[in-house]
């Protein structure tokens, strides 16, 4: 399967992954053949892209790091807490058992396969950013925590705090929170208050409260709300902070387009001992693929192929199914390990160039 921007979809393509709506519900299921009306509707709702089946990846099974049901249930639970009519604190207290169960489901699934690498970019509709973002941050933070050596009880506290790290935003003016342009200094000060709001809402949960309050603190003291430095910041808020930055960068927002995963990871890698403790950064980088499965790339040898997967600990060195040789000629597809062959990805093909390559391969009977 491959991720395709909605503007590049054509009737007849088949969905490879379910499309989740703003409430975590299945809007379109895997296997659905896209019609023109479906494509138009996806654009109207605000989906930036979807995953479709790809014959270039025949024989390759791509799995999310958690089950579809767990992801969907977590999104639904977070949404309920953030939108229920009662007071924010009451919402959290009333959902304590459900939240604990949700955190345990995520932790348990991730512990079953600690060598998991995130090979997919989550896709969300406009208006659903905060719910999907909260779940993604939880998954990324817990995976990093597993690699960092945390035990299960620590992971459960981390998961709960990550799921609710932005709960304070329900007390922020939504017009300011979703403003498409640059914030004024006064507006930014208002948004920053979500950290204190979150701390107060979650004060019955020590670790979660600390995460909500300090996930925007930075290793060099340039963060907020207190300007803490280095070890003054707990490792849990830093783990959530790294995941928060990565997921925000790789998501389409009302004020900018998403950054490609490898570009976001390069930014994170450069933030070691600047924004975040370098040990935590190194553990995070082990968990996320710079080039998700289905990405068309050119490697340093000049060959062009499609990314199959990425070995853990080798974030920037994927396994590739080569489709074109260095002369741009179609070849019988073969497997290439960039790690074992001392190669690297020299560039990611843009959507238009990728379509040209695909049409050429289709024309030659690929």
pLDDT tens readout for residues 199-251? 999 998 999 999 999 999 999 999 999 999 999 999 999 999 999 999 999 98
My answer on whether 310 and 271 are in the same domain is no
Domain count for the chain, please give it.
Answer: 3
In angstroms, how far is CA 265 from the centroid of its own chain?
Answer: 11
In a domain, 290, yes or no: no
- Asked whether residue 341 carries a pLDDT value surpassing 90, the answer given is yes
- Asked whether residue 288 carries a pLDDT value surpassing 50, the answer given is yes
In angstroms, how far is CA 121 from the centroid of its own chain?
Answer: 5
How much is the average pLDDT of 261-277?
Answer: 96
In a domain, 211, yes or no: yes
How much is the average pLDDT of 165-187?
Answer: 91
Please indicate whether residue 84 or residue 207 has the higher confidence score (pLDDT).
Answer: 207
My answer on whether 273 and 143 are in the same domain is yes
- Asked whether residue 143 carries a pLDDT value surpassing 80, the answer given is yes
My answer on whether 338 and 217 are in the same domain is no
In which band, very low, low, confident or very high, does the pLDDT at 366 lie, cut at 50, 70 and 90? Answer: very low
My answer on whether 99 and 174 are in the same domain is yes
My answer on whether 101 and 189 are in the same domain is yes
| Domain termination residue (choose one: 57, 83, 104) | 57
| 314-325 as b/e: b if 16+ CB within 10 A | bbbbbbbbbbbe
- Asked whether residue 364 carries a pLDDT value surpassing 60, the answer given is no
**Structure-token pair, residue 220:** 């060099």
Query: What CATH number should be reported for the domain holding residue 138?
Result: 1.10.3210.10
Which pLDDT does position 60 carry in this prediction? 81
My answer on whether 108 and 183 are in the same domain is yes
How much is the average pLDDT of 138-167?
Answer: 96
| Domain termination residue (choose one: 243, 265, 285) | 285
Domain that holds residue 21: 2-57
**Structure-token pair, residue 173:** 């003016």
| Domain termination residue (choose one: 285, 317, 337) | 285
In which band, very low, low, confident or very high, does the pLDDT at 86 lie, cut at 50, 70 and 90? Answer: low
My answer on whether 82 and 224 are in the same domain is yes
Q: What are phi and psi of 199, to 5 degrees?
A: -55, -45
In a domain, 314, yes or no: yes
Which pLDDT does position 255 carry in this prediction? 67
In a domain, 82, yes or no: yes
My answer on whether 310 and 350 are in the same domain is yes
In a domain, 291, yes or no: no
In a domain, 98, yes or no: yes
My answer on whether 170 and 102 are in the same domain is yes
Place of tokens 């009662």: 86
Which pLDDT does position 275 carry in this prediction? 96
Query: What CATH number should be reported for the domain holding residue 36?
Result: 3.90.105.10
My answer on whether 232 and 203 are in the same domain is yes
My answer on whether 173 and 321 are in the same domain is no
In a domain, 176, yes or no: yes
My answer on whether 312 and 190 are in the same domain is no
Which pLDDT does position 346 carry in this prediction? 97
pTM for this prediction: 0.92
């Amino acid at each position: 399967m491959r991720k395709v921007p909605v503007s590049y979809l054509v009737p007849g393509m088949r969905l490879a992954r379910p499309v989740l709506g703003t409430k975590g519900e299945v809007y379109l299921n895997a296997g659905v053949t896209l019609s023109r009306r479906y494509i138009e509707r996806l654009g109207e709702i605000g989906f930036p892209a979807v995953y479709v089946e790809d014959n270039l990846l025949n024989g390759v099974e791509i799995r999310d790091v958690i089950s579809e049901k767990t992801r969907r249930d977590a999104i639904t639970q977070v949404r309920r807490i953030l939108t229920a009519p009662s007071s924010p604190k009451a919402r959290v207290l009333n959902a304590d058992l459900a939240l604990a169960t949700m955190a345990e489901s995520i932790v348990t699934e991730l512990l079953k396969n600690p060598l998991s690498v995130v090979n997919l970019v989550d896709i969300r509709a406009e208006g659903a950013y905060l719910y999907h973002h909260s779940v993604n941050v939880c998954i990324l933070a817990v995976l990093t925590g597993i690699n960092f050596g945390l035990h299960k009880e620590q992971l459960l506290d981390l998961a709960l705090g990550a799921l609710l790290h932005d709960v304070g935003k329900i007390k922020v003016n939504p017009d300011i929170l979703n403003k498409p342009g640059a914030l004024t200094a006064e507006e930014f000060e208002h948004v920053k208050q979500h950290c204190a709001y979150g701390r107060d809402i979650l004060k019955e949960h020590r670790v979660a409260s600390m995460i909500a309050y300090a996930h925007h603190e930075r290793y060099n003291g340039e963060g907020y709300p207190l300007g803490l430095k280095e070890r003054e910041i707990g490792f849990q808020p830093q783990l959530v902070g790294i995941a928060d930055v990565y997921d925000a960068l790789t998501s389409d927002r009302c004020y900018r387009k998403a950054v490609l995963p490898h570009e976001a990871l390069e930014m994170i890698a450069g933030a070691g001992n600047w924004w975040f403790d370098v040990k935590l950064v190194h553990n995070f980088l082990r968990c996320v693929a710079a080039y998700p499965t289905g990405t068309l790339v050119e490697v340093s040898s000049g060959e062009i192929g499609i990314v199959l997967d990425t070995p853990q600990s080798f974030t920037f060195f994927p396994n590739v199914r080569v489709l074109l040789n260095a002369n741009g000629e179609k070849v019988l597809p073969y497997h290439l390990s960039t790690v074992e062959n001392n190669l690297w990805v020299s560039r990611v093909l843009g959507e238009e160039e990728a379509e040209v390559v695909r049409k050429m391969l289709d024309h030659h009977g690929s």
